[in-house]
Amino acid sequence: MKVRCEYCNNLIDDGDEKCPGCGAVNKNYNRSGVGVPTTIAELEQWYKDRGLPPYETTRFFIGIDYKDSKAFGIYKDSNTGKFVVYKNKDNGERAIRYEGTDEKYAVNELYLKLKDEIAMRKGGSKNSRVQIRGNPIWLIVAIVFFAGIFLFAASQPKSGYYNINGDNYYNHGGSWYIYENNDWRGTSKPSYTGELDDYYDGDSYSSESNYSDIRDSDVYDSSWDSDDWDSDSDWDSGSDWDSGGSDWSSDW
């Protein structure tokens, strides 16, 4: 089903976690997935549990009204009782992403931004930059190589729940699972007509679903949802923050 983004007014799918156009959170999206923080305290614990670097390194300040430039943050204003999600830009100007009484919504705004930054850093933004000099043939080879990688990635189904021909499925990394006899088990790729995205239910479990949370089944592997930091990532205490990551001149 299509809904309108309340920020840019574009039509988006109700299964989109964020608006593809402006990046705003889709309020119609089910954000009650397992392990998703809904309070500032839960977001603080989520951050600690993943062994992320100090706030001064990541520039994400949880529960803190940080005043200096280049910072994302969330805090509760003791005077108004409102939750404030902000970004301090490189020029010191503050852009307010959200200010209101909905703590769950406020936390989710910063949570999604933090997850985006983690994904970008874990993807090795610096290491992925390839410099090609000399013979132009290597440029052609590189273009073909990376185009192949892109096409392969684009062909992979999104991880999450699907409802296909009345049956409930879950996909992770190209592996399919079906919900039968009140449990999940591995299965082959289901048959369908049209676009696979038309059958997509989303990547978060809802208690209103007519199937159980796959994370409670024997087929689930905790590595599917791992956001833990690791030594191979491009975001550590020695990283140069300005060499990658967020655009500090933008509002978000």
Residues 192-239 have pLDDT tens digits of: 999 998 999 887 788 788 899 898 888 887 667 655 555 445 554 444
Residues 118-148 have pLDDT tens digits of: 877 765 544 444 444 555 676 777 677 666 6
pLDDT score of 126: 42
pLDDT greater than 50 at residue 58? yes
> Strand 71-76 vs strand 60-62: parallel, antiparallel, or unpaired?
parallel
Of these ranges, 19-28, 112-121, 184-193, 223-232, the one predicted with the greatest mean pLDDT is 184-193
Residues 6 or more apart from 213 whose CB is under 8 A from it?
Answer: 34, 205
Task: Name the more confident of 108 and 119.
Answer: 108
pLDDT score of 77: 97
pLDDT score of 122: 64
Judging by beta carbons within 10 Å of its beta carbon (0-12, 13-18, 19+), is residue 80 exposed, middle or buried?
A: exposed
Name the amino acid, one letter, at 101. T
Task: Name the more confident of 161 and 139.
Answer: 161
pLDDT score of 8: 86
The 3-state DSSP class for residue 99 equals strand
Cα 95 from Cα 105, distance rounded (Å): 17
Q: How many angstroms separate the Cα of 188 from the Cα of each of 101, 169, 198, 219?
A: 46, 10, 19, 14
Helix (H) or strand (E) holding 44: helix 40-49
**Banded model confidence at residue 49, pLDDT cuts 50, 70, 90:** confident
pLDDT greater than 80 at residue 104? yes
DSSP 46: H
Nearest CA to 211 out of 240, 188, 242, 178 is that of 178
Least confident of 86-90, 135-139, 175-179: 135-139
Q: Where are the domains of the chain?
A: 1-29, 31-125, 155-221
Task: Name the more confident of 64 and 115.
Answer: 64
pLDDT greater than 70 at residue 110? yes
User: Tokens 């009484």, residue?
Assistant: 101
pLDDT score of 108: 92
pLDDT greater than 70 at residue 22? yes
pLDDT greater than 60 at residue 7? yes
Average pLDDT, the chain: 80
Q: What is the DSSP string of 204-229?
A: S--TTSSS--GGGSTT--GGGG----
Task: Name the more confident of 232 and 99.
Answer: 99
* Contact by Cβ (8 Å): 235, 124: no
Judging by beta carbons within 10 Å of its beta carbon (0-12, 13-18, 19+), is residue 179 exposed, middle or buried?
A: buried
Task: Please tell me the pTM assigned to this model.
Answer: 0.51
pLDDT greater than 60 at residue 151? no
CB atoms under 10 Å from CB of 192, counted, come to 13
pLDDT greater than 70 at residue 242? no
Name the amino acid, one letter, at 33. G
Task: Name the more confident of 29 and 246.
Answer: 246
* Contact by Cβ (8 Å): 150, 133: no
Nearest CA to 235 out of 145, 118, 127 is that of 118
Q: What is the DSSP string of 106-162?
A: HHHHHHHHHHHHHHHHHTTTTTT-----S-HHHHHHHHHHHHHHHHHHHHSPPSEEE
